[in-house]
Structure 1
Amino acid sequence: MVDAFDDVYFYSFVEVKNNNSRYYTYLEDNKSSYVSLLEYESDIPQKFDPWNKTQTEVLTVEEFESTTKDFVKKLSKDYSFYTKDAAKEAAEESVKSYKKSLKEKRTYVKTGNEYTLSIYDKDGKLQSRVTYKRMSK
């Protein structure tokens, strides 16, 4: 998936192994790129259920919160601009977002070398739909 605005491009991709998936994003502009370190350095997997054609989060809220807190604590030690307050706020926002994602329903349709992921909110309203192409075997 690629979205663009004012020469800034947003890319996302999924790595799938043994019915487990990891989602990554990065931003790129004409000067540099940015990779989400939480996604890249932390294991926050999702699992495919081929029978029900759904994708679900694997970690409990507590596991996600622990992973996130450990990660932002590391960031605050490694980067002087990342204060303890900023780290705490980032962890809280991430956990809030994760809790919301647990209430969502994620379904997928696989067609050839592509799969389309649809995400519905707790009321069943479509929130997003994205199609990923297979890039390697």
Structure 2
Amino acid sequence: MAVSMLYRRTTALCRTLKGISPSKTLLSSNWLLLHTASYNPKPLKLNLHEPYVPDKDSEKTPEWQKTARYDRKLFGRYGSASGIDPASLWPSHEQLDKIIAEENEWHPPLKVMLKNVKAREKQEAEKRLAK
């Protein structure tokens, strides 16, 4: 069915272009269709039955695998099978206070931004009047 539809489309295209034979186009289209249909990739070598959870007490474990960020990554990938407590993935109260303070510093609320814009406009107007 797909081949017959492809043949109809290529013949219609060849009629509009004039000068290209539909048989040559069909042969190249069939070759592409056959090679696309026979593509069979190798399966990925993933061990999803037993997730790798590093031993944090071992000296051989790299430091980056002992961090909370890596724990979040493991829990996101394997879920509860990773053996990580989901409550430990959230930031502590101190970390949350730091995040909020940084956010307020870099992204102030709308009221503060409007107040700053009005003050800037007022200064510019005073400079224009002073000239």
Q: Same fold (TM over 0.5)?
A: no
Which one has the bigger helix percentage? 2
Answer with 1 or 2: which has the greater Rg: 2
Which one has the bigger strand percentage? 1
Higher relative contact order at CA 8 Å, sep ≥6: structure 1 or structure 2?
A: 1
Which category of TM-score, normalised to the shorter sequence, fits these structures? under 0.3
